[in-house]
Structures are given as structure tokens and as C-alpha cells.
């Protein structure tokens, strides 16, 4: 059931900058959000992700750069002219209006016929399972129900693009998981172009077609969740994605440890950083680097163990049944192909460093 | 024993406040009602029960009807005008504008200044010939001088203007406070839906301000019967009672003519009138007000 033609609803940002008093909240962002895709803007607090979303929505005016929606330059268009819907972090429900009136607010403003309104309301309420709540006021709803009403408002508008600003941050963990699945299903069912802001990397990884990781107002990396997780382009990405995040250890520190068997360390300059995911590290009886357990964190299915390897530290995810005690010494091994190396000065992954950068840092 | 002690403590704690309330509110209120059924004591002649005679006098007193009509016009003009103006000012200073604090302060200034003092300034504005208004009228438009406070047609309107000026700034503070509790995301959500400024105001802002409007309107009603300071300073109720209001008349009857029984009767009428209006407002408007 596709409600609208999704062929021309891509969003393009070109050199978009937003500054407040000389401070760039969004700094020269160029980004392409394909039509019908689920794109998550991810990043720590203050990275400019919400500002970017508000720029797309037209709630903020860009300092420079362009916003192109469906092939049209809308940089200076009003929010209403951009033909999009938005779900706010605090839901922005009108407290004096009933659920039905809240959902229909925009349709009434746009003078949609009564029959059409009723039809759309009925369908949205069915999709979201809030048919029984239509007469209630927002204050009589739980957080999850309010969230659904806010979604309902976006659905009935039948706009091809939907923007969401941390819509799940006010919900408890269980509800958040449910809504994550629901929003993703809804987006696919309606063929929406979704731009979703969150600081929660789990949300980003589980829902997105494309994750745009922002840092200090700039795009750190834009890629599929899989690529972002497996081949982080920088130390920042590696440390931001994954719980626990990727180990980033100094290569020369690791090399201090006693090593038996095949070499685990890649050819790299002395000051490079090695990145390896905790789940890629295995305990081994025969070959590997010598490591001493410094701390353990029991998680049920597995245990996170912090090892001292040479003068560096590595966290490994150890299957729950294996007994690991603080102070034990054992050997660690991993598939050398799964490890990555990063340039210490630029923080970039080494194999993505461009030739000209290599010449600047002869490494 | 301890129970009795507790009982004594309780009463001791209540005592100071109770004495104050009794002495200055409850007893006088009840006495007023009682007095309205007695004649005024004069010299050695004691007050005696006269039944509804005072109320008969009241019905036949043309001055009473005059001040009551004055007061009703006064209320009808000042209440909506000051509420409308305060809302307008609040909406204006709630927006982002340069020198916002200064504008807010100027709007609030009339509330801070004592009415007696500013009434003297207004008195100067209205002065025939060299007052501010007449200087503008005569200087720019070449119109003849006009005695604003000396004419029966204009004096009440002049008093209304002072009241509106005085009250609007005060009510603005309440509206401003209420406006700031409305989350900005509501406006943004409406903007994305394509709602114009006026649609947003009538569909969202105004309904959300209803509790404030109710509160402000009740205050405005009470003030329209209560605020008479400027009448004392500016007109003394004249000319020919044209600017006299109910409370001012009560004051005159009680403390100038010393007809305390009749003043008590007028007071009862005023109290009944105010209670009826307040009750009506609560019951009528409460159904239309959304409380968060």
C-alpha cells in the first residue's frame, strides 16, 4: 500500500551551513537522502543533528548552502511549502484538543473535505491501534499512546517525507523497542522518505537504510549500518557505534606483549592504532598474545572482560559459560583480517587515507 | 491530658489569624448586612429596626441609579478593553523584538505606579487649554480648548481611559506568563501543517489562554467596582455625579454624609452584585476553559 508516488521525494543537502553568532552548528554538510529510504542522523549531543533536521523542515533558516527536496530548491521555502510531516521529540500535541482533533488539525487547516478527513483518520487510527482513544485528551494518554497520536498526525497528512526528532527518547526501554519495529514497518508500508534524528546508536543500527554520523556539525561518515559497524571510517565512528564500542589500542603497546603463533598485527607504522571489535577477540589455549584479566562485567549471555595486553587494553566479549576471573592470564587471538588500523593524527582508517594525505604524513 | 493540650495548642495557633479575619472581614460583613435593616444612629437617638425601609429609599434614590448605570457602563467599557489590550501587548512582547525588556517594563510601569500619583499626571493631560491633549488638539488641528473633566459627556470616558491604561499592563503580565508556558514546538508543528498565524492563534493560543482569561476577567470585574482612587483625585464624582461610581458613592454616603445605615445598604447591593457576577463567570466560563 503505497500512498504516494515516491519517485521524486529525495532530499539533497548541498554545503549546508547554519551558524549562530559565528559558531557553526551545522558546518558545510552535503548529503543525499534517497527517495523512500530510512535515513538516520546520528551523533552525540550538540553535533548538529537536530539543527540539520530543523533546516530540512524549514524551522530554521540556513546561513548558506542549499536544500533540495524532490528536485526543487526549497532553501527559502516555508515549512508548509516543503510538503513534509514532522514528529517532535515532545510530540507537540495540542493539549486542549482531543486525539481526533489533534490528528485532523492539519487537514482542517488545509480544508480537506470532511469525508476524506474521516476516512484518513479511520485508517490511521487502525494502523496505530488508537481507534478507542480518539475522544480523549492528550493528558489522558500514556507516553506511548501520545507517541502514536503524533505518528497519526504524520500519517494522515499523507506527505511523502517524514521527519522525526528523537521520537522515542521519552519512552521506556520496552516500549522503545516496540515502537522502533513499528515505525520501521510503517515507513516501509507507506513508502515514506524518513529522516530520523537520534543519539541512540541502537536505534540507528536497527532501523536505518543509511546512517549519517555527525560530529561537530560535520558528516563523520554516511553509510549503511553494516558498513558503519564493520568498516568504521574513523576512530570517532569506531568508538561511537557498538556497545561496547570497538577497541582502539596503540599498536606499539600491543606489540609489547608476548606473542606466540602467527602474527596478529598488521603491517603498519609504529604509531598507528589498531581497531578490533570485542566479539572478534577469542580466548585461545595454544597461540595468541598474552593477556591478563583486569576487570569483568557479567551480562548473562556473555561476559565483557577487560584485558591488559602489553601496555594496552582490550575488551573482549567472552561467552557466558567460560569462567574468567580478574588476575587470570590467558592468550587472546583474532582473525587479523577483521582488525582495522587507524592513523593516529588524522583519526581516519588507514586504507581510506587518500594518497595526498599519505604524502603529508609519510608513514 | 495530652489531648486537651493539643487542642489548646491548635486554638492558640489559629487565634492570631482568626482574630484578624474576624475583626476586619467577617464581623464587619455580617454587621453591614444587619445595619442595612436599621436606621442610622444620630447623637442620642439609637439605631432602631426599620425593616426594608433602607432598601425602599435605595430604589427611590436617583443618585443610586445614576452611579449604578455609570458603573455598569464603566465595567462594560474597561473590562473588555483592558483584556483585549493586555492580550495584544502580551502577544507583541512575547515575540522576538529588539528592546523587548524595555517594552515589557514600560507596559508594566502603570501597575507599579500608585494610582493617586498618576491620576495627578492624567489630570494634567486633561487640563483645558494647556493640558497635553488640548495642546495637541489646538496646536496641530486648531480646535478650540475643551474641558474634558468638566463635561458630563466626556468625564466618564476620561476615567475609563485611565483605568484601562492602569490595568492593561497588569493583566499583560498574566498573559505573558501563560504564553511562555505554551511550548514553541506547538507553533512549529502548526507551521509544518501550514497553519497561518491567525489560525494558530484562534485554534491553539487563544483556547490555551482561556484559564488566564477567566482569571483576568474576574479581576477586571472586581477592579471595575473597586478601583476609585482616581475619581477622588481627578473629579470627586462630578460634575453632577457624572463620574461617580458605586463604591465612591458608598464612601460619600458613609463618610461625608454619615448616613451609615444607607451606606451599609448600598454595600450589600454591591456585594450581591459582585458575587453574582463572579459566580456567573465561573459557571459560564468554566465549561469552556481547558485546564492543563
Give A54-106 as a DSSP string.
Answer: HHHHTSS--SEEEEEETTEE-TT--GGGG-EEEE-TTTT--TTS-HHHHHHHH
pLDDT range class, residue A308, cuts 50, 70, 90: very high
CATH code of the domain made up of A11-235: 3.40.50.300
Residues of chain B whose beta carbon is less than 8 angstroms from a beta carbon of chain A are 183, 185-186, 188-195, 199, 203-204, 207-208, 290, 292
**DSSP reduced 3-state for A13:** strand
Residues of chain B contacting A153 with CB distance shorter than 8 Å: 189, 193
Q: First and final CA of chain A: distance in angstroms?
A: 55
pLDDT tens, position by position, A182-203: 899 989 988 999 999 999 999 9
Residue B86 domain flag: yes
pLDDT value of residue A165: 92
How would you classify the pairing of strands A312-319 and A302-309? antiparallel
Residue B146 domain flag: yes
Q: Nearest 5°: phi and psi at A222?
A: -120, 115
Orientation angle between helical segments A173-190 and A143-156, nearest 10 degrees: 10
Work out the burial of residue B53: count CB atoms within 10 Å of its CB; fewer than 13 is exposed, 13-18 middle, 19 or more buried: middle
Q: Do B204 and A84 touch (CB under 8 A)?
A: no
Q: Which residues contact B80 (CB under 8 A, 6 or more apart)?
A: none
Residue B115 domain flag: yes
pLDDT value of residue A195: 94
The DSSP string of A100-137 is HHHHHHHHHHTT--HHHHHHHHHHHHHHHT-GGGTTS-
**Cβ proximity of A52 and A16 under 8 Å:** yes
Residue B10 domain flag: no
pLDDT tens, position by position, A151-173: 999 989 989 999 999 988 888 88
pLDDT tens, position by position, A320-363: 777 788 888 889 999 888 889 999 888 888 875 444 544 444 44
Residue B257 domain flag: yes
The ranges of chain B with pLDDT < 50 are none
Helix and strand numbers (H, E) in chain B are 14, 0
Note the residue count of chain B. 292
The mean of the pLDDT values for chain A is 88
Identify which of B188, B194, B292 has the shortest CB distance to residue A92: B188
Full residue range of the structural domain in which residue B153 is found: 50-286
Task: Say how far apart CA B183 and CA B195 lie, in whole Å.
Answer: 16
Q: Touching check for A96 and chain B: CB below 8 Å? A: yes
Residue B168 domain flag: yes
Topology of domain A245-360 in CATH is OB fold (Dihydrolipoamide Acetyltransferase, E2P) (2.40.50)
Task: Say how far apart CA A276 and CA A340 lie, in whole Å.
Answer: 7
Q: Considering chain A, tell me which residue range(s) the CATH 2.40.50.140 domain(s) occupy.
A: 245-360
**DSSP reduced 3-state for B207:** helix
Q: Do B188 and A85 touch (CB under 8 A)?
A: no
- Surface of A (52-71) touching B: CB under 8 A: 57-59
pLDDT value of residue A362: 44
Q: Do A88 and B188 touch (CB under 8 A)?
A: yes
Structural domains in chain B (count): 1
Count CA within 13 A, CB hemisphere, residue A271. Answer: 8
The CATH number assigned to the domain holding B246 equals 1.10.3720.10
**DSSP reduced 3-state for B290:** coil
- Report percent pLDDT > 90 for chain A: 54
Amino acid at each position: 500500500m503505497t500512498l504516494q508516488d515516491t519517485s521524486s521525494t529525495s532530499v539533497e543537502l548541498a554545503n549546508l551551513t547554519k551558524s549562530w553568532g559565528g559558531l557553526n552548528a551545522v558546518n558545510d554538510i552535503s548529503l543525499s537522502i534517497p527517495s523512500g529510504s530510512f535515513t538516520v542522523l546520528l551523533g552525540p549531543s550538540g553535533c548538529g543533528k537536530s539543527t540539520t533536521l530543523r533546516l530540512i523542515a524549514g524551522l530554521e533558516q540556513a546561513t548558506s548552502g542549499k536544500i533540495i527536496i524532490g528536485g526543487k530548491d526549497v532553501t527559502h521555502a516555508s515549512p508548509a511549502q516543503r510538503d513534509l510531516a514532522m514528529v517532535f521529540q515532545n510530540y507537540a500535541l495540542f493539549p486542549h484538543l482531543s486525539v481526533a482533533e489533534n490528528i485532523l488539525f492539519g487537514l482542517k487547516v488545509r480544508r480537506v473535505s470532511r469525508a476524506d478527513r474521516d476516512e484518513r483518520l479511520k485508517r490511521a487510527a487502525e494502523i496505530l491501534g488508537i481507534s478507542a482513544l480518539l475522544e480523549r485528551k492528550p493528558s489522558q494518554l500514556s507516553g506511548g499512546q501520545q507517541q502514536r497520536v503524533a505518528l497519526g498526525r504524520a500519517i494522515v497528512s499523507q506527505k511523502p517525507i517524514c521527519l522525526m526528532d528523537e521520537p522515542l527518547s521519552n519512552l521506556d526501554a520496552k516500549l522503545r523497542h516496540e515502537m522502533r519495529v513499528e515505525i520501521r514497518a510503517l515507513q516501509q508500508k507507506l513508502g515514506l522518505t524518513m529522516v530520523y534524528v537520534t543519539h541512540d546508536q541502537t536505534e540507528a543500527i536497527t532501523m536505518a537504510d543509511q546512517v549519517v554520523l555527525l560530529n561537530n556539525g560535520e558528516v563523520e561518515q554516511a553509510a549503511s549500518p553494516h558498513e558503519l559497524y564493520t568498516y568504521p571510517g574513523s576512530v570517532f565512528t569506531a568508538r561511537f557505534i557498538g556497545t561496547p564500542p570497538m577497541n582502539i589500542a596503540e599498536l606499539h603497546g600491543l606489540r609489547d606483549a608476548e606473542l606466540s603463533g602467527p602474527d596478529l598485527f598488521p603491517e603498519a607504522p609504529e604509531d598507528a592504532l589498531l581497531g578490533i571489535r570485542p566479539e572478534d577477540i577469542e580466548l585461545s589455549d595454544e597461540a595468541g598474545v598474552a593477556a591478563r584479566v583486569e576487570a569483568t562485567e557479567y551480562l548473562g549471555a556473555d561476559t565483557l572482560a577487560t584485558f591488559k595486553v602489553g601496555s594496552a587494553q582490550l575488551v573482549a566479549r567472552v561467552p557466558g559459560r567460560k569462567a574468567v576471573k580478574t588476575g587470570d592470564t590467558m592468550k587472546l587471538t583474532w582473525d587479523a583480517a577483521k582488525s582495522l588500523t587507524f592513523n593516529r593524527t588524522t583519526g581516519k582508517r588507514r586504507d581510506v587515507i587518500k594518497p595526498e594525505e599519505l604524502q603529508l604524513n609519510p608513514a | 491530658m495530652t489531648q486537651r493540650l493539643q487542642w489548646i495548642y491548635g486554638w492558640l495557633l489559629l487565634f492570631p489569624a482568626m482574630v484578624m479575619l474576624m475583626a476586619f472581614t467577617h464581623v464587619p460583613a455580617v454587621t453591614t448586612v444587619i445595619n442595612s435593616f436599621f436606621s442610622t444612629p444620630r447623637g442620642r437617638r439609637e439605631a432602631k429596626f426599620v425593616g426594608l425601609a433602607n432598601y425602599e429609599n435605595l430604589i427611590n434614590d436617583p443618585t443610586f441609579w445614576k452611579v449604578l448605570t455609570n458603573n455598569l457602563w464603566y465595567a462594560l467599557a474597561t473590562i473588555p478593553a483592558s483584556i483585549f489590550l493586555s492580550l495584544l501587548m502580551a502577544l507583541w512582547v512575547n515575540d522576538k523584538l529588539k528592546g523587548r525588556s524595555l517594552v515589557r517594563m514600560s507596559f508594566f510601569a502603570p501597575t507599579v505606579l500608585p494610582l493617586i500619583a498618576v491620576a495627578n499626571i492624567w489630570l494634567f493631560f486633561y487640563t483645558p487649554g494647556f493640558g497635553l491633549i488640548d495642546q495637541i488638539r489646538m496646536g496641530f488641528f486648531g480646535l478650540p480648548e475643551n474641558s474634558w473633566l468638566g463635561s458630563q459627556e466626556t468625564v466618564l470616558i476620561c476615567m475609563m481611559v485611565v483605568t484601562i491604561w492602569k490595568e492593561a499592563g497588569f493583566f499583560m503580565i498574566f498573559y505573558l506568563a501563560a504564553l511562555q508556558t505554551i511550548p514553541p514546538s506547538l507553533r512549529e508543528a502548526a507551521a509544518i501543517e501550514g497553519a497561518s498565524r491567525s489560525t494558530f492563534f484562534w485554534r491553539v493560543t487563544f483556547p490555551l489562554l482561556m484559564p488566564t482569561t477567566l482569571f483576568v476577567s474576574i479581576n477586571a470585574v472586581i477592579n471595575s467596582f473597586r478601583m476609585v482612587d482616581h475619581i477622588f483625585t481627578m473629579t470627586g464624582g462630578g460634575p453632577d455625579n457624572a463620574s461617580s461610581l458605586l463604591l465612591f458613592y458608598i464612601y460619600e454616603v458613609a463618610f461625608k454624609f454619615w448616613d451609615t445605615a444607607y451606606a451599609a445598604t448600598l454595600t450589600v447591593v454591591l456585594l450581591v452584585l459582585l458575587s453574582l457576577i463572579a459566580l456567573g463567570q465561573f459557571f459560564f466560563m468554566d465549561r469552556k476553559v481547558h485546564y492543563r
